Amino acid sequence: MWPGWQSGQSDCWQACVATLNSNNTPNALYRAYAIWAAVAFGLIIASTLAARWLLPRRGLMASITVYALGMCIAFTAALLGHEVIGRSASGIDMIAPVARVLRPEMKLYSVRVLDHTLPWYLHHPLVMVERPDELEFGVTQEPQKWLPTTAAFLAAWQDGKPAMAIMSPQTFAELSQQAPMYVVARDWRRVAVANFAVNIPAQPR
């Protein structure tokens, strides 16, 4: 029964991972992280069994030590493996191309999404557009520092002043039909665009 049980568990694991998907995290990243999670789970099982085996033979202290060490290594593996999701979620790979285009005097709009990472890496403030998210209290205190509608953003976008914006791929697909937008960098979570032509392999839409 063991081979069949093991095969069933493997099929169950693969089926579960295959169904994990969202707008924020593609299934491919879950699949990559699943390997690390499986390693961590295996380490937990191994350390538990080793601790149980050691308890009557080497005593409580040896059992606890092996268990604690195994758990520490398992959680370290899980945390290290999360880099496959965390790095792409952070947007750090977009920093270099965006920084080559962005200038201190330029406005950086965040359209319908609050991105916590790019402004921090770029040391550049955001101008929120339409959805203030957790900055709602702030924009009520300083309403002049945000744009409450997409129409207001499109008007500012086309006022002749160089600017950049961050938005989701879905928002880009919508707004790029209404105003010139030149892609500077993109990933599965966000698109960084400029309202002027840039010297990178990207085409306006």
Asked if pLDDT for residue 115 goes beyond 60, the answer is yes
Residue with the larger pLDDT of the pair 133 and 21 = 133
Question: Would you place residue 6 in the very low, low, confident or very high pLDDT band (cuts 50, 70, 90)?
Answer: very low
- Residues 118, 46 share a domain: no
Residue with the larger pLDDT of the pair 71 and 36 = 71
Which of 27-41, 159-173, 184-198 is predicted least confidently?
27-41
Note down the domain range covering 183.
Answer: 92-194
201: in domain: no
15: in domain: yes
Place of tokens 């049980």: 5
26: in domain: yes
199: in domain: no
- Residues 122, 97 share a domain: yes
- Order across the sheet with 191-194: list the strands: 146-147, 127-129, 107-111, 163-167, 191-194, 182-186
